[in-house]
Amino acid sequence: MTEAGQTPLPLVVLISGSGSNLQAIIDACANGQVNAEIKAVISNKADAFGLKRAQRANIPTHVLDHSLFGNRQSFDRALKKLIDGYQPGLLVLAGFMRILTAEFVNHYLGRMLNIHPSLLPNFQGLNTHQRAIESGVKQHGVSVHFVTPELDGGPVVNRAIIDVDSSDTTESLGKRVLAEEHKIYPEAVSWFANGRLQLNGNQAMLDGEPVPALEKYANET
Ligand code: GAR
């Protein structure tokens, strides 16, 4: 539950697709699990279903189509301008499938979270469930991390670990991971909103204690 009397933390959420994580955060803000208010949802894709989810919740939406920009830097600068008009205390990447420039990332350092469907530092990048199955790992999962200029390399703040069954397919594994995403992302946002989570150098701190890192799998390069 939120702490009584505390002003809700203003959020901006960036999406590219279905927005099921956005939905989990919308719901958690509405039911009081997260003391935050989503001020805007921005998508780089006009057909992202998450835009409909935001509109249903009366949240302002914007489409900023990256293909209309000449380069990554000009897109990121326009995105930053749009975001900063809402003065968010936290920027939440929820399935936002764009690589961000260091200039953009550094502007939001310590106040930007991402969710990545693997146990970081394992399986950075795309197709994480397929790669987990192919590599034969026994455990897989999802990580919420602070975003730093290293792609999918920022310090992990929250994670869920699930066992991989020998019968698992990419779809079955992805489905179980996604169900965990919807729990751990609102939880991490609530920690941040309640002042419990900070980035200290390259270390995430929760309640003043370092969040432990995981080892890389031996067969992950
Ligand atoms: C989620 O599985 C999220 O972890 C992943 O995209 C999906 C978005 O789903 N993000 C990444 O792969 C980032 N590298 P959603 O739109 O339903 O929230």
| 13, 14, 20: residue to mutate for ligand 1 pocket, most atoms within 8 A of CB | 20
**Do 67 and 35 contact (CB within 8 A), yes or no?**
no
116 is known as an active-site residue? yes
Residue nearest to atom 7 of ligand 1 (CA): 95
For the chain, what are the domain ranges? Answer: 9-122+143-159+181-200
DSSP letters, 153-205, are: -SPEEEEEEEEPPTT--HHHHHHHHHHHHHHHHHHHHHHHHTT-EEEETTEEE
Give the per-residue pLDDT at 1. Answer: 46
Give the per-residue pLDDT at 221. Answer: 62
pLDDT tens profile 155-202 = 999 999 999 999 999 999 999 999 999 999 999 999 999 999 999 999
Question: Which residue ranges have their beta carbon within 6 Å of ligand 1?
Answer: 15, 17-21, 50, 94-95, 115-117, 178, 181
Q: Which tokens hold the place of 76? A: 């990121």
Instruction: For residue 42, list its beta bridge partners.
Output: 14, 62
Q: C-alpha distances in angstroms, 131 versus 53, 127, 140, 158, 212?
A: 30, 6, 10, 21, 24
What is the position in ligand 1's atom list of the atom closest to the CA of 174?
Answer: 2
SS3 for 183-195, per residue? Answer: HHHHHHHHHHHCC
Residue nearest to atom 10 of ligand 1 (CA): 95
- The one catalytic residue in 66, 107, 116, 140 is 116
Residue nearest to atom 9 of ligand 1 (CA): 95
Instruction: For residue 36, list its beta bridge partners.
Output: 9
What is the position in ligand 1's atom list of the atom closest to the CA of 128?
Answer: 12
SS3 for 7-67, per residue? Answer: CCEEEEEEECCCCHHHHHHHHHHHCCCCCEEEEEEEECCCCCHHHHHHHHCCCCEEECCHH
**Sheet of 203-206, strands arranged across:** 197-200, 203-206, 209-210
SS3 for 126-154, per residue? Answer: CCHHHHHHHHCCCEEEEEEEECCCCCCCC
**Do 92 and 12 contact (CB within 8 A), yes or no?**
yes
Burial classification of residue 125, based on how many CB atoms lie within 10 Å of its CB (0-12 exposed, 13-18 middle, 19 or more buried): exposed
What is the position in ligand 1's atom list of the atom closest to the CA of 17?
Answer: 16
The parts of the chain modelled with pLDDT lower than 50 are: 1-2
Residue nearest to atom 17 of ligand 1 (CA): 20
Q: Which tokens hold the place of 77? A: 């600068």
Assigned CATH for 9-122+143-159+181-200: 3.40.50.170
R_g of the chain, CA atoms, integer Å: 17
